[in-house]
């Protein structure tokens, strides 16, 4: 368990899950922000990042591991400092003192199986035609995380 971050990651969400579903799942634990991630095809990934008020809220949320939303088991994970730093650095999650409105329409897309030679221009070409702006791109071996801001 990583008690130093106020973020959790939920996995196993129904693909049609909305922010209200996540808030209901949290059973009264206040979520400051909820950020859903998308697959490389732009569909819901079944995961989201949730910023909670404090460490005690994280501990309470971890107790909800394996509870259900619409019949699906939801896994609850802490977010490591490294994962959190990457998400803040690339604008997926707000850092302290940043405006919430900047993140109102952000989506994170995780791309896997790309050739190692793939670059930012290739990623932009892939998303051509989608009304969005590529803001950040982070590569970790063969996985690329892309932050998109939807118009």
Percent of residues, the chain, with pLDDT higher than 70: 66
Show the domains of the chain with their CATH numbers: 7-150 (3.30.70.330)
Average pLDDT of the segment spanning 36-41: 72
The two tokens of residue 70 are: 């619409």
What is the value of pTM for the model shown? Answer: 0.61
CB 109 within 8 A of CB 146: yes
What's the maximum distance between 2 C-alpha atoms anywhere in the chain?
Answer: 46
Task: Identify the burial level of 135 via C-beta atoms within 10 angstroms of its C-beta, where 0-12 means exposed, 13-18 middle and 19 or more buried.
Answer: middle
CB 8 within 8 A of CB 78: yes
């Amino acid at each position: 368990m990583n008690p130093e971050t106020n973020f959790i990651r939920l996995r196993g969400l129904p693909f049609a899950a909305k922010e209200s579903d996540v808030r209901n799942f949290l059973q009264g634990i206040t979520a400051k922000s909820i950020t859903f991630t998308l697959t490389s095809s732009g569909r819901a990934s079944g995961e989201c990042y949730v910023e909670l008020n404090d460490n005690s809220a994280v501990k309470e949320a971890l107790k909800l591991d394996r509870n259900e939303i619409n019949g699906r088991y939801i896994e609850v994970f802490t977010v490591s400092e490294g994962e959190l730093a990457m998400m803040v650095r690339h604008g997926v999650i707000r850092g302290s003192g940043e405006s919430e409105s900047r993140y109102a329409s952000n989506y994170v897309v995780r791309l896997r199986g790309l050739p190692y030679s793939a670059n930012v221009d290739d990623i932009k070409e892939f998303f051509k035609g989608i009304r969005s702006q590529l803001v950040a791109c982070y590569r970790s071996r063969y996985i690329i995380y892309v932050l998109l801001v939807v118009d």
